[in-house]
């Protein structure tokens, strides 16, 4: 039996990548089938795409002197289309804290701690939902109303 890691290995040679794409496309519907089958067998520019995500984990912000936002804090796959939304929300929430810091309402350490607490919890959950959507997108039987792939998007309480 072939292990998943071996089955999903992307060939090193671009020509072998094209052959693998064509093998996997067998049974695809038109026009996608023809698009893939029309790729020249001797194509030397087929590039493998490896998806990765990084669920948010706490980090040392050096007593409020450095923080993260967007993909540096919660890189996720594209299957829910939420990466940019979370980056924008990160920026908005961080600006809110920076305004409070600037006005003297709070100190910098506490401001970043508040921002990071919300963002880390939200970002971690978003990455895991996006990962599950990637799995669901490759398993027809898993796609239903509760699937992360098509499930309802709810804005976080902070939005």
Q: How confident is the model at residue 1 (pLDDT cuts 50, 70, 90)?
A: very low
User: CA of 69: how far to CAs of 29, 72, 92, 94, 120, in Å?
Assistant: 40, 6, 10, 9, 10
pLDDT above 90: residue 38: yes
Predicted pLDDT at 6: 58
Residues 36-62: what's their mean pLDDT?
Answer: 89
Task: Label residue 152 exposed, middle or buried (CB < 10 Å: 0-12, 13-18, 19+).
Answer: exposed
> What is the model's pLDDT at position 2?
39
Three-class SS state of 104:
coil
Q: Please give the structure tokens belonging to residue 25.
A: 């496309």
Whether pTM > 0.75 for this model: the answer is no
C-alpha R_g of the chain: 21
CA–CA separation, 100 and 106 (whole Å): 6
pLDDT higher than threshold 90 for residue 22: yes
- Alpha helix locations (H) across the chain? 4-7, 14-25, 32-37, 71-74, 83-103, 108-136
Whether the pLDDT of residue 73 is over 70: the answer is yes
Could you tell me the residue ranges of all domains in the chain?
A: 10-50, 71-142
Q: What is the reported pLDDT for 158?
A: 75
The pLDDT value recorded for residue 137 is 82
Q: How confident is the model at residue 36 (pLDDT cuts 50, 70, 90)?
A: very high
Mean pLDDT of the chain: 89
Q: What is the mean pLDDT of residues 37-56?
A: 87
The answer to whether 109 touches 98, Cβ cutoff 8 Å, is no
Task: Give the pLDDT confidence of 99-135 residue by residue, as tens digits.
Answer: 999 999 999 999 999 999 999 999 999 999 999 988 8
Q: Quick check: 153 pLDDT over 50?
A: yes
**Contact criterion met (CB below 8 Å) for 18 and 46:** yes
What mean pLDDT comes out for the span 80-90?
93
Tell me the C-alpha distance between 130 and 72, whole Å.
Answer: 16
Q: Is 108:64 a contact under the CB 8 Å cutoff?
A: yes
């Amino acid at each position: 039996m072939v292990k998943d890691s071996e089955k999903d290995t992307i060939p090193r040679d671009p020509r072998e990548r094209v052959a693998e794409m064509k093998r996997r496309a067998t049974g695809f519907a038109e026009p996608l089938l023809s698009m893939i089958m029309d790729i020249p067998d001797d194509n030397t520019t087929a590039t493998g795409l490896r998806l990765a995500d990084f669920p948010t984990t706490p980090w040392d912000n050096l007593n409020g002197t450095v923080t993260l936002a967007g993909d540096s804090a919660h890189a996720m796959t594209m299957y829910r289309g939420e990466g940019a939304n979370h980056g924008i929300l990160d920026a908005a929430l961080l600006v809110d804290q920076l305004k409070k810091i600037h006005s003297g309402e709070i100190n910098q350490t506490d401001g970043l701690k508040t921002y990071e607490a919300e963002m880390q919890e939200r970002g971690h959950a978003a990455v895991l939902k996006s990962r599950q959507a990637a799995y669901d997108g490759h398993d027809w039987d898993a796609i239903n109303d509760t699937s992360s792939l098509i499930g309802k998007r709810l804005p976080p309480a902070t939005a």
